[in-house]
Amino acid sequence: MIRLEKRTAPSQFWTYAAPVLAVLLTMICGGLLFAALGNDPLITIRTIFWDPLFSEFSWYYRPQLLIKGAPLVLIAIGLSFGFRAGVWNIGAEGQYILGAICGAAVGLAFYPTESVFILPLMIMAGALGGWAWAMIPGLLRVKFGTNEILVSLMLVYVAQQLLASMALGAMRNPDGMGFPGSRNLARYPSATSWINEGAGLHWGVVFAFVAVIFAYITLSRHIFGYHVRLSGQSPRAARFAGVNPGLLVLVCMGIAGALAGLAGLFEVAGPSGLISIDFNAGYGFTAIIVAFLGRLHPIGILLAAGLMALTYIGGDIAQSNLRLPAAAIQVLQGMLLFFLLAVDVLTHYRVRIGTRKLA
Partner 1 sequence: MDLSSINPILLLASLMVAATPILLAAIGELVVERAGVLNLGVEGMMITGAVCGFIVAISTGSPWLGFAGAALGGALLALIFGVLTQVLLSNQVATGLALTLFGLGLAALLGQGYVGIKAPPVAKFPIPLLSDLPVIGPVLFRHDPIVYLGITIIAATSAFLRYSRAGLILRAVGENHEAAHALGYHVIRVRLLAIMFGGACAGLGGAYLGLVRVPQWTEGVTAGAGWIALAIVVFASWRPWRLLLGAYLFGGVTVLQLNLQAAGVALPVSYLSMAPYLATILVLVMMRSGRAPGSLGQSFHASR
Other beta carbons within 10 Å of 163 = 22
Nearest to 103 by CA among 196, 193, 201: 193
Helix axes 245-268, 203-221, angle to 10 degrees: 160
Q: Is the dihedral of CA 182, 187, 192, 198 positive or negative?
A: positive
Q: Does 341 bind partner 1 (CB under 8 A)?
A: yes
Element (H, E) at 175: none
Q: In the complex, what is the shortest distance from the CB of residue 350 to partner 1, in angstroms, rounded to a whole number?
A: 11
Which residues, other chains included, contact 236 with Cβ-Cβ below 8 Å and sequence gap of 6+? none
Of 115 and 146, nearer to partner 1 (C-beta) is: 146
Q: In the complex, what is the shortest distance from the CB of residue 252 to partner 1, in angstroms, rounded to a whole number?
A: 15
Torsion angle, alpha carbons of 308, 309, 314, 319, to 10: 90
Of 113 and 147, nearer to partner 1 (C-beta) is: 147
Q: Does 29 bind partner 1 (CB under 8 A)?
A: no
Q: Which stretch binds partner 1 (CB under 8 A): 22-30, 96-104, 117-125, 325-333?
A: 325-333
Count of chain residues binding partner 1 (CB under 8 A) = 48
Q: In the complex, what is the shortest distance from the CB of residue 328 to partner 1, in angstroms, rounded to a whole number?
A: 6
Q: Which stretch binds partner 1 (CB under 8 A): 4-12, 49-57, 121-129, 310-318?
A: 4-12
Q: Does 330 bind partner 1 (CB under 8 A)?
A: yes
Q: Which of residues 135-194 bind partner 1 (CB under 8 A)?
A: 136, 140, 144, 146-147, 149-151, 153-155, 157-158, 161-162, 164-165, 168-169
Distance CA 19, CA 336 (A): 9
Q: In the complex, what is the shortest distance from the CB of residue 335 to partner 1, in angstroms, rounded to a whole number?
A: 7
118 burial type by CB count under 10 A (0-12 exposed, 13-18 middle, 19+ buried): buried
Q: Does 121 bind partner 1 (CB under 8 A)?
A: no
Contact 322, 47 (CB under 8 A): yes
In the complex, the residues that contact partner 1 under the rule CB under 8 A are 3-6, 88, 90, 136, 140, 144, 146-147, 149-151, 153-155, 157-158, 161-162, 164-165, 168-169, 285, 288-289, 292, 325-335, 337-338, 341-342, 344-345, 348-349
